[in-house]
Each structure stands twice: as structure tokens, then as C-alpha cells.
Structure 1
Amino acid sequence: MRIRNGLKSILQANLLVRSLLVLLLVGLVIWVYSKISFVFHPLNVLFKTLALPVILTGIAYYLLNPIVDFLERKRIKRVYSILGLYLIIAGLLVILFVNVIPFVAGQINGLIENIPRYSEQVQEKLNEELKNGYLNQINAWTGTDPIKLTQGWSGKITDFLQNTVSGLGSFINVLKDIVLALATLPFILFYLLRDGKKLPEHIVNFAPIKMRSHSLRIMSQMNNQISSYIRGQIIVSFCIGALLYVGYLIIGLKYSLTLALIAACTSIVPYLGPAIAITPALIVSMVTSPVMLVKMIVVWTVVQLVEGKFISPQIMGKSLHIHPITIIFVILTAGNLFGFVGIVLAVPGYAVLKVIATNAFSWFRDHSGWYTPNPEAAGVLAADGADVEVVPVQPEDTTKS
């Protein structure tokens, strides 16, 4: 018995040493690559070129693949289903560009042109409110100058809005990349929808034979995580935009469609998106009138309650099993590391890494022997020097059913 326990300890120690050596080698490889990063410059350019088309194609694939699978179950060939979907999408895009895009472009141009004037009006209204007697009494009690404080904040807001407008040049460059990605998207998407089912099997063929079934299971879990998040988040964002547009139309808020579209796009980012989307709506409603500001806040609160209590639980559910605090930290970290793309891909990327880490830990738990119960050590030692009675565990009688 002691010999067997000794062998187990040696094997566990060897596994720990091997794990540490693997981590050391990985760190050494990363360090070497960091010193010769110029060698990988062509690969970096290739990745930047293909990243956006691949991301957009992946999103379109997860949205359209369930429809193609459904039509295939109805005995319609995948090629015909894909071509039919392309024709429907092309018709919808024509209607969109003819009727919706010019109207939205006019609202966006008007909003951008009025941003400096809106910021000045907000500052003037705040200054008028700060000159009343109540705030003068607060000034005397606290020893602060609200007018200077408000002017400072108004100046910061104005600078932020002007920087946003001046940053349209870089946005145009990003828009150019998006247009090029959209031009190549239909071709990549066609072959991905047609042969996407066979892709995991082709990838798994590069793995050792003993690991192929486990690799397929991991890829299936990753696919479920990504697909549920992308489909759910886009549907939730569309619902938020539609509800806000209806609410803004009811209260008569200017630029209602543009503000609703901004809210729908930023809602793709969980938790932080709505906080960003409410800023332009606050500025427009504050400039309009105090009553409009109250109405806008009421509409926004109602939409957020409906989304949080009814829409998201029904559509998203608990598919990702990620704590909200973890999501916020992941988004902030990915934004600092990779910018806007990191913010958008933070949650699905974390979900994929979580699947990989969970399966890696499960493999380590099953093969290390560190987490298996030890029947021979049934007694528990107390503090040093204390008398402890060790009661051996009787082996289970396997002859009984």
C-alpha cells in the first residue's frame, strides 16, 4: 500500500514538473517571437486584411445557417436555398438603399452639423439655471463655484463632441474597409454555407486519432456558445432599436430614427452599450425642452426594463453562463488591448476561451490523479501534536447488487 501511494506521489510530481516545463517552453517561445516580430509582419498584414471579412462572414453564417438547415430538412438542396436567400437579401437591400438610407443620412448630417450649436445651448441653459438663488446659497454653503464647474464640464463635452466630429476621417477609412469586406462577403459566405458542416471534420483530421472525438465535442461546444450569443445579441439589439424608435416617435423627439439606430448598434456591447447610446439622446432632448428630457428618460427606462425583464431572458437566456461583472471586466480589458474590435468580440472570445479552459481542466483533473479520492486516508489530522483517531474505511462489498 505504501509503495503504491509512493508511486502515485511520484507520478503526480512528474506531471507537475512536466506542466511547469510546458509553461516555461511556451513563455520562451513567446519571448523569442517577440524578438523577431518583423519576420511575422506579412502574417500580421494578412491577418488584418482577412479579419474583418471573416468576422462579418461568421456573423452572417450564424444568422443564415439555421434557415438553410431548415430548408434542407424540407428536401430543398442547400445551393438552391442559399441562392434564394441571396435574392431575398438583395431585394431587401435595394428597398433599404432607396427608401431608408437617404432619410437616415439626412438625419445624421443634420445631427453632426448641429452638435456645436447644441453644446452651446446646453451650456447656456446650465448657466441660467446656476444663476438662481438656490444655487447661490449652495455656493455659499459649500464654497464652490457652480458656474465655473459647469463651464469646465461643458468645455469638456464640447471638446469631446468636436473630437468625435474630427474623427470622422478615420471612420471613413474604417468604412472603406467595411465596404471591401462586404464586397467579398457573399462569395465567402456561399461556400461556408454550402460546406460549413464538413469544416469541423476537416479540421479534426489534423488532430491525433485518440483526440478527434474529444476535439469534435469541444468544437461543438464552441459553436453553440458563439451561435447563441451572436443570434441572441443581434435580435435583442434589433428589439431595442425598434422599441426606442416607436417611443421617440410618440414623444416627438428629433432625429428619432438616427438615435434609435445608434442605440441598436451600441447595444451589441453588453452593459456598456446602452450607457454610450443614451448620451446623444440626452443632448438632443435637453436642448429641446426640460419636458422632452423627462419624456426621453421615461421612454429609455421603460425600454431598458422591457429588455431586461422580458426580451433578453427569453432570447439570450443563460446560454453563456458568465457573470455580469466578468463581462464588464472582459469588455474593458479587450477594449484597451484591441480597440473597438476587441469590445465587439470580447464576450464571444471569452466564451470560446472558457470552453477551452474548462475542457483542459477536465482533462488535467482526470489524468493528474490530484482530484481522485484516497480511501486509505480516511482519517483527518488535526493540529500538530493533537491526538487523532484514524478510522480506516472498509472497502465496499461489490458482491451485493
Structure 2
Amino acid sequence: MFWIFAALLSALLLRGALPVLTALLFFVLKVSLPFLLALFVAYLLEPGVRALERRGLERRRAAQIVYAFFFLLAGLALAAAVFRLDALATGAQSFLHRLAASFEELGDGTNGPLAALPPSLRAEVLRWGSHLYARLPELTVAQVEKLDSLWNFVFVFTLSPFIAYFYLVDAEAFFRFFALGVPPAWRATFAHLLFRIDGRLARYVRGLAYVAVLEGLIVYVGYRLVGLPFALVFAVLTAVFEFVPFVGPVLAAALPLLYAVPLGWSKVLSVFAVVLVAQLVENNLLSPLISGKVTDLHPLAILTAVLVGGELLGFLGMVLAVPVSLVVREVVSVRDYLRVPEGGRPSP
């Protein structure tokens, strides 16, 4: 079956059907997006539900209590964001003005920080800096347009918590619902595949979430110590970008560093020191202890998946790249398991 699919795929590609395949993949990802986000929420809340179950509460009541606490925290965070919205807008305008002034200072051939560089190298640095500054609005608009519309964005994030609730209340019924369209002869294998995917994704999401929260706390304390404005905003962005392998930490470090440029080079060095310490703690302590080798994917495969996801769905696609890759890996592993002779099969 796999080779038939591969042959059909090759034929379609040779006939120039790549745009059709891309559109089909985009449609499938958009349709499955609420379910993927629902699983993400459910994986984060599942430990709380189990803890209440161990204390004697019925699972449905435990899920309701955890959900009430979750929505309370989400509401407080949203209220805080709205309260800070004016300050953020004013700060963003000030940031862009100061960033432009900083590039002018960098270009000063006599008193600027790049004055000691050779003219050719200084011109190249300025060219790249000006190009990045000019593309900032374009890149921002492009990522927003990936969402298609505000309505689609609101619909997805409204539907996902309800799906997550039903998963928390009865995960087995959730899986049985997806198995209805599978022929009876394949349902046992399909259920086995779903539970393997569920376990792998749960470990990945929870481990990454713990690392993201701790990393956000570390940089928040560091930014406050060095006196960086909007330390909380940059800390939240750092935690969010942690869900994007490789690319995320670079983006999370670039934003506060860019903001610090107009504040002086001593501030840039201070922010860089905070970022460096945070990355050292993450790579040598947090990730090995909490995440470990959950993905078991080659770094090049992860990077490729992140780039493809970003091209298809923007930032959200980059976040979903690794989970989708884990699903594909489990599907392939189950296919290989079914091809092994009965006497030589490993235990599931």
C-alpha cells in the first residue's frame, strides 16, 4: 500500500500537481488544527485531572475543576494584556523610532560603534541592518495573513477548549470516535497507533511546556535585573518561542537585543548575557532533565519540518511541525511493525 501511494505521489509530482498537493495538505492541516490545539491543551491539563482523581474525585468533576482554574488564569492573563495594550502600542512606536535612530548611529563613520570597521565591512553590516529594519512590517503582516482571517483564528481557539474537555473526560471514547471510519479488521492496529501517538505527544508537549515556563521565568528575572523595559512581554514571548525548535530561541533572543540597541551598547551586552545564561541553563540542565530525548528525531529532520511548517502556516506551522513529525514517525513505525514476521515482532 505504501509503495502504491509513493508511486501515485511521484506520478502526480511529475505531472505538475504539486500546487494541488500543497493545497490539499494545507486544507488537511487547517481542518485538523482545532484537534491538534485541543490535544495540546488536554496534555497540559491532564496531570491536574489525574491528581484530583487520586484524591477521590470523579473524572468528570475533576476535569470541570481544572477547566475552571484554567479559564480563570486565561481570563486574568487576557485582562492583563488588554490593560497593557496601550502601553505596548506606545512602546512599539517608540521602539521603532529608537531603532531607526540606532541604525543612523551605527552608520556614523566617525563616532558610531562601527567606525573602527573597514569601510567595506561597515557598508555590508549597514546594508543587512537596513534590509532587516525595512522588512519588519512586511514580515509581521505576512505572519498575520497566514491566519487567513481573524474569524478563523477566533473559531479555532474557541472550538479547541471544548474538544479538549471531551478528551479529558473520556479519552477512550474520543479515540473510539476516530476509529469509527476504520474497517473492523484494522481497528485494533489503529487503536494501538493512536495510543502510541498519544503517549509520545503527551510527553513532548508536557516536557516542552515545563521548559518554556522555566525559561520564561529565568529571562524575566534577568531582564528585570538589567533594567530592560517590557521584561514581562519579552519573557512571555521567550516562553512561546520555546515551542519552535532551533528557530524559536533565535527569535526570542533577537527581539530584546534589538530593543536594547537604542538604549546603549552596555544594555545590549547585559541583555546578551541574560540570553546566554538562560540558554546554557536550558541546554545543560532543563532540557536533559525534563525533556530528554522525547522526539528521537534527527536535528536536520526537525529543522526541515520547522521550515516547511513555517512556509505553510506561518508561526503556527512552526509550532506544529515537530508534533506532526512525531505522528508521521509513529505511523511509519507501526507500518514496519506490521511487516515484521509474527515470530519476530517486538512487543507493542
With structure 2 as the length reference, what TM-score do the two structures score?
0.83
Whether 2:264 is the aligned partner of 1:285: answer: no
Aligned equivalents of 2:218, 2:84: Cα separation in 1: 17
> Residue 145 of structure 1 aligns to a residue in which SS?
helix
**How far is the alpha carbon of 1:260 from its aligned partner?**
1.5
**How far is the alpha carbon of 1:365 from its aligned partner?**
3.8
Q: Deviations over 1:128-185 (max 9, x none)?
A: 3x4369977863xxxx534533442232122122324655874896554333333333
Aligned equivalents of 2:75, 2:174: Cα separation in 1: 33
Native 8 Å contact 1:263 1:277 kept in 2: yes
Shift in alpha-carbon separation, 1:19–1:56, aligned structure 2, 3 A: closer
Aligned equivalents of 2:180, 2:151: Cα separation in 1: 38
Aligned equivalents of 1:163, 1:133: Cα separation in 2: 28
1:131 counterpart residue number: 110
1:185 counterpart residue number: 160
Q: Deviations over 1:261-291 (max 9, x none)?
A: 2212111101110111212211121211111
Native 8 Å contact 2:143 2:314 kept in 1: no
Aligned equivalents of 2:132, 2:27: Cα separation in 1: 39
Aligned equivalents of 1:165, 1:337: Cα separation in 2: 16
Match of 1:116 among 89, 96, 104: 96
Aligned residues: 343
Match of 2:65 among 84, 109, 117: 84
Shift in alpha-carbon separation, 1:210–1:167, aligned structure 2, 3 A: closer
Match of 1:366 among 324, 341, 347: 341
Native 8 Å contact 1:240 1:264 kept in 2: yes
Superposition RMSD in Å:
3.7
Native 8 Å contact 1:104 1:257 kept in 2: no
2:215 counterpart residue number: 240
Native 8 Å contact 1:204 1:216 kept in 2: yes
Aligned equivalents of 1:50, 1:22: Cα separation in 2: 22
Aligned equivalents of 1:56, 1:177: Cα separation in 2: 14
Aligned equivalents of 1:204, 1:169: Cα separation in 2: 35
Q: Deviations over 1:45-85 (max 9, x none)?
A: 98576444323222111112232234334332222112212
Aligned equivalents of 1:165, 1:46: Cα separation in 2: 23
Structure 2: give runs of 5+ residues left out of the alignment: none
Structure 1: give runs of 5+ residues left out of the alignment: 1-17, 370-401
Shift in alpha-carbon separation, 1:46–1:293, aligned structure 2, 3 A: closer
Instruction: Please identify the structure whose Cα radius of gyration is greater.
Output: 1
Identity of aligned residues (%): 24
Shift in alpha-carbon separation, 1:311–1:157, aligned structure 2, 3 A: same
Letter in 2 for 1:121: A
Match of 1:105 among 62, 65, 85: 85
Q: Deviations over 1:338-359 (max 9, x none)?
A: 4333211111111111111122
Letter in 1 for 2:102: V
**How far is the alpha carbon of 1:309 from its aligned partner?**
1.1
**How far is the alpha carbon of 1:297 from its aligned partner?**
0.8
**How far is the alpha carbon of 1:207 from its aligned partner?**
4.4
2:198 counterpart residue number: 223
